[in-house]
Every structure is written in structure tokens, then in C-alpha cells.
């Protein structure tokens, strides 16, 4: 009898051996495990929403022919960033199950998978803790002028003026923080913010406020009110047809003069030219940007030259804890598939 084959495609963050370490004890002698490592994050992923790319896919890495050759004969794929398109599925008749170790399986053509009878599961919330912690750090870096002081001192300039009353700002205990998006990351950011004593507003038309958050004084409201009343606006929504570019000139103009904007979510939801103008004019005092319209962004992009912006290269979810959580989630889904049990997180 032919043995079942499980193909593992990882990279230099989600290491293949991290998957194999948790898969091997679960599958035992039932299947053969083969692994492949791709070059991300040292090699940038493709962004289909910018450059077209493979039909139906957004963020991915890997050449289709090479991926198909590696997957030949595999029934199960445990995957992080490798693309699976409709055209590729035509060449992979044995493939029946894909476990994607990320929250948004945007490297997989889900419609094509349904047509070909390939089940897909994902790992929602795998990096929720990492991104939430990072967001708190981003808020503090901006509101407490950590970035401004750091950049000056690296140039040999002692910014004692940052202690002046007209340069410094208030503490979080006196601020209102608005969270756009109330899913796994947004809710965790809210919980981490509570000990600071800030007022918290939430805007999400598809989620209801958790009773515990309501009891703690968190307020759910519309986007316009959140923008108008928040000293810090932090984005935690998902990219959809509805949210693409939904934060633009009108929304930034509605924000309080001197407010801060934090984006640890995704770039396509923001009109970055309009954000640039809001920051350049000093209507917004500062921003912390973790994601961009194109990654990596052009090095000469004007937004990257502003002195009131903190920039990081899309690393909010990068932690070894995230790797362990994602690998365990994917391995459990494979175990359930092999045992004939229903998946936990079907797409």
C-alpha cells in the first residue's frame, strides 16, 4: 500500500523543522514527511494586490513550477507562504488538504481549492499576542517621544527640549485610544491598554463588544466618532473590498489635531499619500507604520523621510512564540484530517 505523503513548505521564519518537530509525533508511521525552505523574509514576498501576480493570490513567495514539482504526489500540504493557484491545482491531483500557518490564507486560491475538492484550514490568532505587544510598544514610542529622542541622540544631538511642556505630551492615563477592528488582535490590544488607565474606543461593525470590556468602560462606537475623539488611532482591521483605502484624506482630517496614527495591520487599507500630507502639515503629530502600500517600500518614498514617523519592516508578528503556536495549530489540523475528524479552522 502506498504511504501518504505530507509536504511541508516553510521559510526562514516558519522553519520547516518547527513544523516537522510537532508533526512527526502526531502522524507516527502513517505518512512520509518532506520539507522545503523558502527564502522569506530575506527574500521579499510578492504582493499580488500591487503587481498583479498569480490570479486570486495576494502575498506569497515561490515559483509555481518549483512548488508543483516539490508537491508532486503529496496529499497534504503544510504551508506558510508558498502559492497555490488554480493553475497549479490542475497539476496536483493528489493534493487534498492544505494547512496554512497564518491567519489570512491570501497565498491560496480558496475558490479554486473548493472546485478541486481541496480542504483548506488556517491559523487565526497565531500572532495576536505578538502584534498586540508590538502595538503597545509602538504607541509608547510615539506618545513618549522615544523615537524622536533616539534619532537625535544617534546624531549626537541632546534633545533636552523634549522635556519642555510645549514639546512633551500627556500620559496614556489621560488619553483616548481608538481601536479600528475588534478581532483577535484588537481585543488583545484593548486588554493590554487597560492597566494604563486610558479611555478606549472600539469601532467594528461586525463584532459586538465583549461584556468584560463593556464592564471595564470600553466604548463601541462608529468610525467617525472614534477618529474625532481619539488621541491615538490604532488600526487592526482586515483588508477587504470594503476596507481597501478606507483611511484617506477625509478620515485623517477628522482626527484630532496632534493625534497619532498606528498601523500594525496591513498597508492597503491606508491611502499613504493622504497620510503623508496629514503628517507633513503636522495635523497629525506622528505615526508609527509597520506595514506599507508596497513591501519593501521604495527607499526614496517621501513618507519615509518625514521626521515624525517611526518605521519598522513588517515585524510585529515576528516572535518565536508565534512560530510555536502556528506549528502546533497546523499539526493538530493535520492530525484531525488523518483521523477523519472535522477541522478546527476551516476556510
Catalytic-role residue among 273, 283, 295, 336: 295
With contact defined as beta carbons under 8 Å apart, do 143 and 175 qualify?
yes
Please indicate whether residue 80 is annotated as part of the active site. no
Please indicate whether residue 150 is annotated as part of the active site. no
Catalytic-role residue among 80, 236, 266, 285: 266
Q: What whole-number distance in Å separates Cα of residue 236 and Cα of residue 220?
A: 14
Q: What is the Cα 184 distance to its own chain's centre?
A: 11
* Complete edge-to-edge strand list for the sheet that includes strand 119-121: 31-37, 4-10, 76-79, 97-100, 119-121
With contact defined as beta carbons under 8 Å apart, do 276 and 300 qualify?
no
Please report, for residues 22, 248, 260, 289, 313, the alpha-carbon distance to residue 297 in angstroms, rounded to integers and kept in the order given.
36, 19, 21, 12, 9
Q: What whole-number distance in Å separates Cα of residue 98 and Cα of residue 331?
A: 11
Cell representation of residue 55: 490570479
Please indicate whether residue 333 is annotated as part of the active site. no
- For residue 27, give the nearest of 342, 334, 346, 341 by alpha carbon: 334
Catalytic-role residue among 314, 328, 332, 333: 314
Cβ neighbours for 19, distance < 8 A, ≥ 6 positions apart: 8, 10, 35, 78, 101, 327, 330, 331
Burial 39-54 (b: 16+ CB within 10 A, else e): ebbeeebbbbbeeebb
Cell representation of residue 260: 497619532
Q: What whole-number distance in Å separates Cα of residue 140 and Cα of residue 230?
A: 15
User: Which residues are known catalytic residues?
Assistant: 266, 295, 314
Amino acid at each position: 500500500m502506498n504511504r501518504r505523503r505530507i509536504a511541508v513548505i516553510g521559510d526562514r521564519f516558519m522553519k520547516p523543522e518547527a513544523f516537522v518537530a510537532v508533526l512527526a509525533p502526531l502522524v507516527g508511521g502513517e505518512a512520509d514527511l518532506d520539507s522545503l525552505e523558502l527564502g522569506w523574509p530575506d527574500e521579499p514576498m510578492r504582493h499580488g494586490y500591487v503587481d498583479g501576480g498569480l490570479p486570486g493570490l495576494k502575498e506569497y513567495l515561490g515559483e509555481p513550477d518549483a512548488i508543483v514539482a516539490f508537491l508532486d504526489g503529496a496529499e497534504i500540504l503544510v504551508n506558510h507562504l508558498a502559492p497555490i493557484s488554480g493553475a497549479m491545482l490542475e497539476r496536483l491531483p493528489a493534493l487534498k488538504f492544505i494547512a496554512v500557518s497564518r491567519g489570512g490564507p491570501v497565498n491560496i486560491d480558496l475558490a479554486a481549492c473548493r472546485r478541486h475538492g481541496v480542504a483548506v484550514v488556517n491559523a487565526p490568532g497565531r500572532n495576536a499576542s505578538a502584534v498586540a505587544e508590538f502595538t503597545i510598544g509602538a504607541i509608547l514610542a510615539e506618545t513618549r517621544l522615544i523615537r524622536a529622542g533616539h534619532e537625535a541622540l544617534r546624531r549626537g544631538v541632546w534633545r533636552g527640549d523634549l522635556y519642555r511642556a510645549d514639546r512633551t505630551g500627556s500620559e496614556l492615563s489621560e488619553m483616548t485610544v481608538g481601536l479600528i477592528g475588534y478581532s483577535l488582535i484588537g481585543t488583545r490590544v484593548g486588554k493590554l491598554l487597560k492597566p494604563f488607565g486610558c479611555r478606549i474606543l472600539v469601532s467594528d461593525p461586525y463584532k459586538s463588544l465583549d461584556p468584560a470590556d463593556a464592564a471595564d468602560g470600553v466604548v463601541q462606537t462608529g468610525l467617525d466618532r472614534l477618529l474625532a475623539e481619539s488621541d491615538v488611532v490604532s488600526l487592526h482591521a482586515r483588508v477587504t473590498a470594503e476596507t481597501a483605502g478606507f483611511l484617506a484624506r477625509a478620515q485623517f482630517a477628522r482626527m484630532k489635531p496632534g493625534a497619532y496614527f498606528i498601523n500594525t495591520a496591513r498597508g492597503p487599507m491606508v491611502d499613504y499619500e493622504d497620510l503623508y500630507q496629514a503628517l507633513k502639515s503636522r495635523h497629525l503629530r506622528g505615526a508609527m507604520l509597520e506595514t506599507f502600500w508596497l513591501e519593501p517600500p521604495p527607499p526614496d518614498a517621501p513618507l519615509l523621510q518625514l521626521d515624525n514617523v517611526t518605521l519598522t519592516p513588517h515585524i510585529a508578528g515576528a516572535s518565536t512564540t508565534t512560530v510555536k503556536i502556528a506549528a502546533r495549530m497546523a499539526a493538530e489540523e493535520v492530525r484531525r484530517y488523518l483521523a477523519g475528524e472535522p477541522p478546527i479552522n476551516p476556510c
